[in-house]
Structure 1
């Protein structure tokens, strides 16, 4: 004899979207677009204002607050928003009985390891390129004569000009092209009957190479962060557009605040990568602005055939993408944003007031995002 639970036949083919207010749903797309644009472009606007004016302690504190608040938002997005949603999705009865209950955690772990592997490979590629550049510089330096002795009776040369990265003493004669070679060197010229050029290559090239390596790593981390945000932002948009009328208002408010907080977090990370051109910064911001409204538009167009809350295929897709996004954001937030900034970055030796302000900003960002996750 079957139990009552076994007699209930689940409808896993469609979702009933009653009282679907199409004009309201279309209008919400533009509201989310405007809120996302305001949030992600706000840090860029603040940066431009700071560059045009004189830096002060207050402005530096504002930057610390925004950056650390954004880090807290990203941490909470992974722990409170994405992972619980993934567990709930995989726990849906329409997906069937799973032989492995920890699928969301396993997929998130894959996301963490995949992100680590991508960044590690990127670091290795950049490091190899840097090694080749250093080897070429060393070879070029060795091919130049280290000592040149030219008598004062040869071609007349004007006194050496002060160098941007070095200094010069005395007067002498020689060939004009020598000065070009010394443009990146610290040069000493002494007059004792002969003009003796003692080449002492400065560390400018190494400093430049090290900076280039750091900038490449920062860009890679930013692209990984954007990828993680893009993955789940599409799902957020689709989910909002296919939500029943009864639950739509509260979810819309949550998504709106989610876009604002996450946009600020991404914007602060974008301005932190100083090697990016303005065009690329604006492109990354526009991608964030458009991705959730794009998901909402897809949901509106596909609403009549949508079975996301009941289709096993759609549930697997949503659960997998949410889990992967959680893993990516966990790595980026904990390793790239918090550990890097607090252990090796600007906050490593910051004063006690600045450190306390930064920590409270992290807690505030995480707390507000957690409240939104609980509300949804």
Structure 2
């Protein structure tokens, strides 16, 4: 090994951008905006068309497969894009010598545990609210006779159709040793049965559990947006020679990621149309915002040489990787395949679902060669 090469100090000065075509860079902001908007709004448009037309089982399964494609995209984003970028950032000589080489992995683990903690707290809050509502309903039932049109079995309602839940119900309509009928309701996943007593207006609806789904979606969008703003800044400060190929790759990257997020947004049925549109707009504007920041800061940008910028980029990429790993593996794949529509799907449909996941992961991994 050449000892003189080891003594060379790294160049940690500001980046010099030659042949910077400002009109082209500004125009690219709007192109990325349009491509991102097309991708993230496409699942909402498809869902709207299906609602207005014939709701065939084939059309519904197409949406399921598109969602599995999106899950594969998000898995690959975490493993292929974010984690390698984080390790490369923390290995930059301008950041200085680290006493702990596994910083990216440790921060990604923090992202996983942080997401798990947030969702676990949400589950506990929902469970406590349902427990109190059931206790109140049982207390009212014991203190007052039920109306003639209401029986104890009316506690059970048909389970709403949902991609990530299943249930078991057991009935004993005969007189037991205590002389009353018994109803047991067990619910798994994210959807709980609705408990309703019209005489005292005590209602526990599935909206309680859907709040957990909304929280999961917000966490997913946060992880994607952390990553997207960094992509935008990187594109705007890329040298002119490498800019065209990176621009094309990022267009595809935004389209795949937008479709993945869009399919997750339409899967949360409790979101209002305004909230859905707001989440879509947030995604399709965050990368252009990052590009605008890069354009404005291009003259004194030192992202690849500033220790502060390197720490910020590496930390955000690592945390985003942990967030997306939890959401994709637990909320999207495990929930769908263990409790959702693919839990008891036929062998051909299961193969199609797996192929959709693999295709999304493969295409996003291919883009990882350039971005």
TM-score by length of 1: 0.83
Other-structure match for 1:21? 21
Other-structure match for 2:195? 206
- How many residues end up aligned between the 2 structures? 330
Q: Which stretches of structure 1, 4 residues or longer, exceed 6 Å deviation after superposition? A: 198-204
Do the aligned residues in 1 keep the contact of 2:194 with 2:206 (CA within 8 Å)? no
Other-structure match for 1:87? 87
How far residue 142 of structure 1 moved from its aligned partner, in angstroms, is 3.1
The alignment status of 1:237 with 2:226, answered yes or no, reads no
How far residue 133 of structure 1 moved from its aligned partner, in angstroms, is 2.1
Q: 1:146 to 1:122 in 2, by over 3 A?
A: closer
Do the aligned residues in 2 keep the contact of 1:146 with 1:199 (CA within 8 Å)? no
Q: Deviation digits for residues 102-124 of structure 1, max 9, x if unmatched?
A: 11111101111111111111111
| Structure with larger Rg | 1
The alignment status of 1:124 with 2:124, answered yes or no, reads yes
How far residue 234 of structure 1 moved from its aligned partner, in angstroms, is 0.8
How far residue 218 of structure 1 moved from its aligned partner, in angstroms, is 1.1
Structure 2 Cα separation of the partners of residues 260 and 350 of structure 1? 29
Structure 2 Cα separation of the partners of residues 85 and 357 of structure 1? 31
The alignment status of 1:220 with 2:218, answered yes or no, reads no
Structure 1 Cα separation of the partners of residues 84 and 182 of structure 2? 60
After TM superposition, the structure 1 = structure 2 runs for residues 1-376 of structure 1, keeping only pairs within 5 Å, are: 3-146=3-146, 205-206=194-195, 209=204, 211-376=206-371
Structure 1 Cα separation of the partners of residues 257 and 298 of structure 2? 26
Other-structure match for 2:190? none
Structure 2 Cα separation of the partners of residues 96 and 44 of structure 1? 46
Do the aligned residues in 2 keep the contact of 1:71 with 1:265 (CA within 8 Å)? yes
How far residue 211 of structure 1 moved from its aligned partner, in angstroms, is 2.7
Structure 2 Cα separation of the partners of residues 251 and 273 of structure 1? 33
Q: Deviation digits for residues 132-160 of structure 1, max 9, x if unmatched?
A: 22222233333423489xxxxxxxxxxx8
Structure 2 portions without partners, runs of 5+: 156-179, 186-192, 197-202
How far residue 341 of structure 1 moved from its aligned partner, in angstroms, is 0.3
The farther-off stretch of 3-12 and 30-39 is 3-12
Do the aligned residues in 1 keep the contact of 2:195 with 2:205 (CA within 8 Å)? yes
Other-structure match for 1:192? none
Structure 2 Cα separation of the partners of residues 66 and 38 of structure 1? 15
Structure 1 portions without partners, runs of 5+: 149-159, 167-197
Do the aligned residues in 2 keep the contact of 1:147 with 1:199 (CA within 8 Å)? no
Do the aligned residues in 1 keep the contact of 2:235 with 2:291 (CA within 8 Å)? yes
Q: What SS is found at the alignment partner of 1:232?
A: helix
How far residue 129 of structure 1 moved from its aligned partner, in angstroms, is 1.6
Q: What SS is found at the alignment partner of 1:375?
A: coil
Q: What SS is found at the alignment partner of 1:75?
A: helix
**TM-align CA RMSD:** 2.5
Structure 1 Cα separation of the partners of residues 7 and 370 of structure 2? 34
TM-score by length of 2: 0.84
